[in-house]
Amino acid sequence: MSTKAVKGLLVAVFIASLVWTRFVIWNQAKPVYHEGQKLVLTGYLLEEPRRAGTGASFKFSGVFVTTNQTQLHYGDKLKLTGNYSKGRLAFPGIERGENSSLFYQSLAWLRNNLRSKTQELFPEPEAGLILGIVLGDKSDLDSQLEKDLKTTGTIHVAVVSGFNISLVGGALLALAKFIKRRRAVLLSLVAIVLYSLLSGFTPPTMRALIMCASVYLGTLTGRVVYPLYTLVAAALILYLLDPGVLFDIGFQLSFLATGGIMLFSQALQDKIPSFMKLFGADLSTSLAAQLLVTPILFYNFGRVSLVSPIANALTLWVIAPVTIMSFVILCISFIAFPIAFILALIALPLVKYFVFAVEILAKLPLASVEIGKNNVFLVVGYFLLALSAALNLFIKKNAIKNP
């Protein structure tokens, strides 16, 4: 066995040992709640509650909470008292404390102002969609639109992604023309961390943050950054911080969609017929992402969208300009609201097109089909096929490089 192979094997054994040890420590230390147990939880609310009718729901200190208080917001300091039942706290007593943290107060003020300005600038359901795109805030997303997004496999647009983070970092990185590049990169790093906190610091956001930060650090040090390695490293870092991230569906979908795009997107694009080249990039990206997230979707939700590839091909091109314009409009709204309002009128047709396309496609017969939830054998079999396909592509690439 070569020295390189031995080193690789030792690294793999070390990582496997680290992963197992961290899981054992986490599993022994995590709180175990019993049916009927009285809980008293304190801390900051790090997500905007989902509102439905006269109630709201949110996750707090790892526990799912339902309440009839609809005036709770991101950044609130809370004390919850109630009985744990069926995996949640239902209608606990809630005390709001004064936010002693100036940092959280500032984040909450900015987030709430962005929400209110978005709702002033755009009608519904477009305002709720833009809040999802810009802040990952689905609390005001129209229930029918959310259902249509799930049916068409486009719900991922209402989540803060690597594109959002790279957009924020890239805006400050442009300052490298005026200040030293090192300072511009450091400012970009600070900006993407603050934006991640502003958007809730969810596992998918943290994954994107780590990957973008790796690219910026690579720029600083002059090192080449390999995207697939960075994705795996980001997942490992998040796992070591909190192994519970493995059971977060949002993280699973984000990680697998990104991995699918990296592994299969180019190969699929090469297979697309020439008459479809106009939508080729979006279609191949959508198909590549769907390849790995599909088993997670039917395991957890029991349904798979059949129109997802075409829905993404027809709508994904809208997301980049809408995201950029929304960022610009919201920034301008703080200093010149009338100008922001005019710009919002220019951006609105793009958002309306997205909503219209999703609504139409969701109404198609067999837009999504039911397969059945919690089928472990189907998931394992699917991933084995995907792994086989990835290895086949890898072997073919090496054969081309080394004939």
Domains of the chain: 38-100 (2.40.50), 104-401 (no CATH)
Instruction: Look at residues 320, 156, 164 and name the one whose alpha carbon lies nearest to residue 253.
Output: 156
**What distance in Å separates the CA atoms of residue 64 and residue 60, rounded to the nearest whole number?**
6
Phi, psi dihedrals of residue 222, rounded to the nearest 5°: 75, 20
Cβ atoms within 10 Å of 255's Cβ, excluding its own: 24
Per-residue pLDDT tens listing for the chain (403 residues): 667 777 777 878 888 888 888 888 888 887 788 888 888 888 888 777 877 767 788 888 778 888 888 778 777 888 888 888 877 888 888 888 776 567 777 877 888 888 899 999 999 899 999 998 888 888 778 888 888 888 888 887 887 777 778 878 777 777 666 777 777 788 888 888 888 888 877 888 888 888 888 888 887 777 777 888 888 888 899 888 888 888 888 888 888 888 888 877 777 777 766 656 666 666 677 777 777 787 887 777 777 788 888 888 888 888 888 888 998 899 899 999 999 999 999 999 999 999 999 999 988 887 877 776 767 777 777 777 777 776 776 666 554 444 4
Task: Confirm if 92 and 82 have CB atoms less than 8 A apart.
Answer: yes
Residue in the structure block whose two tokens are 């094997």: 9
pTM of the model: 0.79
Q: Which two tokens stand for residue 367?
A: 């837009």
> In one letter, which amino acid is 255?
F
Q: What is the DSSP string of 300-332?
A: HTSEEESSHHHHHHHHHHHHHHHHHHHHHHHHH
Cβ atoms within 10 Å of 136's Cβ, excluding its own: 23
Beta strand residue intervals within 251-314, DSSP E: 303-305
**What distance in Å separates the CA atoms of residue 53 and residue 69, rounded to the nearest whole number?**
11
